[in-house]
Structure 1
């Protein structure tokens, strides 16, 4: 009976921990789109917040799961739909079409990101000086572009996202600290692009961290990458070590959440 009681208490504690994270569908200011806000009610004081930008597939369950994982650590997180229309692709042809349409309107994407930041600033658990942005694949390139815009962000992290740009940052242009994680066998991020990125960041005087994983392909943080890679003959593969190491680096980059 005593052991059964202990199991019941442990189960209730686990359920309580899960219940601390509240997911709320939200509309971005100025009718610029939508997203999902994640708040951990166990944290009262203002602290770090994170904007999460999805892969080229759109704002699907994977992007939302990453936002939830951040909220479980105490951070307020916002998974934002950068396509602005709720579309989620299941085929690369559609994903590319969605991405190309978004990239063709950079001013609209910038406005959408600004609206997401504005929404976070309205949350009482958010410290205005501790807003971060992270992105995966398509989203990784987007958040780096926001840093290059000189936005007042505490930090930006890109996971298997494009590092290239037509408008390199100059000295003093970037305010945010930068973390980038790439796979060395990712053909979408060739070695010369990585070298150019590092040179750009050093020239701009940025506090930058680069994680480069040997033998690792594109989308290495997504557990469904192997399945998608085989189905569509794409250079995608999940890598548990790279995923876990880059996630640990991200948490250290943001810093522990204080209650």
Structure 2
């Protein structure tokens, strides 16, 4: 415990990217979160990890992990959100499984039951909105696999802001009509999956229903915001994060 406190004090002045790139610092930040369980509407018990801000009442953020699963890096981002004044809930859609190679990540992602994942996210949004320390304002953010689910979460429950990092946004206007708040998307020019065609279609469908969208493109590859991969682009990641924090401040307070 003393060692973890010492590490965290030393890390306090470091940028988030430096913490995420260092396994020891990420692990120490992740350890500050509280494991929390809830029962979904369907009766399943699901687990999330919660970071609380120093000052409440506070707005809330729901974080949805990449295809790797809920690892220390995503938990460290939740800790950073709490330091910025948010109640942060890092959701686990893999039931505790964390991948360390693409083969396992793909298998875990493919095994996710969409209906159960939707129910899980709805449960956490309801939970954090009703939290005694919350203002009632809620936002979602996700990366890769989680980027698509950040949007999905906002379609199943009304939220005040949605952030998508290179996630699947192939939706129809009838679904997007359910959005209650604005959406911000960060996309990569060299992404072979979440490409211009998909995002252009998303923009067109959002226009049909008059929903606000800010879509930004970066001369980067899929996953450019993850400092632990070879595709990491420090400049673009920093710009995307600055835009994200501005957007959340404007819409969540």
Q: TM-score, normalised by structure 1?
A: 0.80
Partner of 2:18: none
2:160 alignment partner, one of 151, 154, 160: 154
CA-based RMSD of the aligned residues comes to 2.5
Asked if 1 retains the 8 angstrom alpha-carbon contact of 2:66 and 2:143, the reply is yes
Q: Secondary structure at the match of 1:28?
A: strand
1:91-145 deviation per Cα after TM superposition (whole angstroms, max 9, x unaligned): 111111111111xx221111100111122134222112x1001000000001112
Asked if 2 retains the 8 angstrom alpha-carbon contact of 1:136 and 1:159, the reply is yes
1:137 alignment partner, one of 123, 137, 144: 144
Partner of 1:60: 71
Partner of 1:219: 223
Give the Cα separation in 1 of the matches to 2:212 and 2:206.
Answer: 8
Give the Cα separation in 2 of the matches to 1:132 and 1:240.
Answer: 24
Q: Structure 2: which 5+ residue stretches go unaligned?
A: 1-5, 14-29
Asked if 1 retains the 8 angstrom alpha-carbon contact of 2:59 and 2:86, the reply is yes
Partner of 1:207: 212
- Say if 2:206 is the partner of 1:196: no
The offset of 1:146, in angstroms, is 2.3
Asked if 2 retains the 8 angstrom alpha-carbon contact of 1:32 and 1:111, the reply is no
Q: Secondary structure at the match of 1:196?
A: helix
The offset of 1:221, in angstroms, is 0.8
Q: Secondary structure at the match of 2:66?
A: coil
Give the Cα separation in 2 of the matches to 1:80 and 1:91.
Answer: 21
Asked if 1 retains the 8 angstrom alpha-carbon contact of 2:158 and 2:178, the reply is no
Q: TM-score, normalised by structure 2?
A: 0.82
1:155-199 deviation per Cα after TM superposition (whole angstroms, max 9, x unaligned): 11011212223x444674321210100111111212111110111
Asked if 2 retains the 8 angstrom alpha-carbon contact of 1:178 and 1:209, the reply is yes
Equivalent runs, 1:63-212 vs 2, <5 Å:
63-83=74-94, 85-102=95-112, 105-128=113-136, 130-149=137-156, 151-165=157-171, 167-169=172-174, 172-212=177-217
Q: Secondary structure at the match of 2:62?
A: strand
Give the Cα separation in 2 of the matches to 1:79 and 1:254.
Answer: 17
1:251 alignment partner, one of 245, 249, 253: 245
Aligned length: 227
Q: Compared with structure 1, are the counterparts of its residues 90 and 122 closer, same or farther at alpha carbon in structure 2 (3 Å cutoff)?
A: same
Asked if 1 retains the 8 angstrom alpha-carbon contact of 2:53 and 2:83, the reply is yes
Greater than 4 Å deviation, 4+ residue runs: none
Asked if 1 retains the 8 angstrom alpha-carbon contact of 2:140 and 2:154, the reply is no
